[in-house]
Amino acid sequence: MSDSVAIVTGASQGIGRATAVRLARDFSKLVLVARNGANLRETAKQVEKAGAVALALELDLSQPSAADTVIATTLDRFGRIDALLNIAGAVPQIDILEMTDEQWNAGAELKLHGARRLTIRAWEALKKSRGSVILMSGNSALFPKAGYAAVGTINAAIVALAKAFADKGIADGIQVNSVLPGAVMTGRRESYLAKWAPAHGMTIEEALIKFPKEAGIERYGRPEEIAELMAFLVSPGARWMTGNAVRMDGNEVKSI
């Protein structure tokens, strides 16, 4: 899509980085947003190597002013917004009886409210381009557990928020969907397994077999697989697909 602009948040690692690099094949300009500046600059290098112009913005989207900065900078530099992919957000996995208000609120401020604010700020520009929005949720929205209470609650709220934005988008010509990945092997998950496995008398290789088996799936997903789904959802071929919660989890969720 010539002269097209996409914003990708959470672009410093994992699914966000993989999505940004994948979108460099379809969009001519990518605005990359994340808190980790060093990692973000590495993503920018990979995006430009893949053929797109990259603008890296080191910002914390849990701060209300960050959304204004992202949109104002994007429009000042590139003049338009064609797609917004809200991927930023890591919610702590802590037992429901042990989580503090600060931990709940920190997770919600970044993943839920950060995406909400950014989508609202981008709305007028997206109306002009008849653009697309994705909000990143997760399959825990469909089966909240005690140890994943905040994750499941916030992810469920994101699905509802995306549905509401999609309803608004019908009249305004904006496509909105949410994406619900399952267990994906990101750097964060690798770090967790590196600590968990030896503490429980296992090798990492054994843990890589144990966890997918317990979840009833063949293997962990790869960030690049989720990135391909994201690229499809913001492509012209998926234009009639709006208001959907799209799950990609290797059939971890068994319900229909």
pLDDT at 136 exceeding the cut of 70: yes
The predicted pLDDT at position 92 comes to 78
Residue ranges of the chain assigned to CATH 3.40.50.720: 5-183+223-248
The predicted pLDDT at position 93 comes to 79
What is the average pLDDT across 29-36?
A: 98
Taking the C-alpha atoms of residue 156 and residue 173, their distance in angstroms, rounded to an integer, is: 25
Taking the C-alpha atoms of residue 210 and residue 185, their distance in angstroms, rounded to an integer, is: 14
**Do 98 and 133 form a contact (C-beta atoms < 8 A)?**
no
Backbone phi and psi for residue 154, each to the nearest 5 degrees, phi listed first: -70, -40
Backbone phi and psi for residue 11, each to the nearest 5 degrees, phi listed first: -85, 5
Least confident of 48-57, 191-200, 245-254: 191-200
The length of the chain in residues reads 256
**Do 18 and 224 form a contact (C-beta atoms < 8 A)?**
yes
Domain 5-183+223-248 fold is Rossmann fold (3.40.50)
Averaged pLDDT score across all residues of the chain: 94
Count CA within 13 A, CB hemisphere, residue 182: 19
pLDDT tens digit sequence for 81-93: 999 999 999 887 7
The predicted pLDDT at position 1 comes to 58
pTM of the full structure: 0.94
What is the average pLDDT across 217-244?
A: 97
- Distance between start and end Cα atoms, the chain: 35
